[in-house]
A = this chain, B = another copy of it.
Amino acid sequence: MANAVLKVEGMTCGHCVSAVEKAVGQTGAVGKVDLASKKVSVEYDEGKVTIEAVKAAIEDQGYDVV
């Protein structure tokens, strides 16, 4: 398993946290959002999903991975 921490702009509330965590989850990775720091901790299996796919899933929800 690999880990990454992404900085994500545009998350403002609990709904955003849920949307991002759900989107990450749908890639097969596990995401945990810290709203205050705007960071998303991602744990993923490099053999099954790329961090690029996780970033794309977050951006598809309307947030910017910076």
Q: Which residues of A are in contact with B by a Cβ distance under 8 Å?
A: 12-16, 19, 62
Copies of this chain in the oligomer = 2
Residues of B within 8 A of A14 (CB): 62
Interface of A is mostly: helix
Min distance, Cβ A63 to any Cβ of chain B, angstroms? 10
A41 shortest CB reach to chain B, Å: 21
Q: Which residues of B contact A62 (CB under 8 A)?
A: 14
A38 to chain B, nearest CB (A): 13
Q: Which 9 A-B pairs have the closest CB atoms?
A: A15-B15, A12-B12, A12-B13, A13-B13, A13-B16, A15-B16, A15-B19, A13-B15, A14-B62
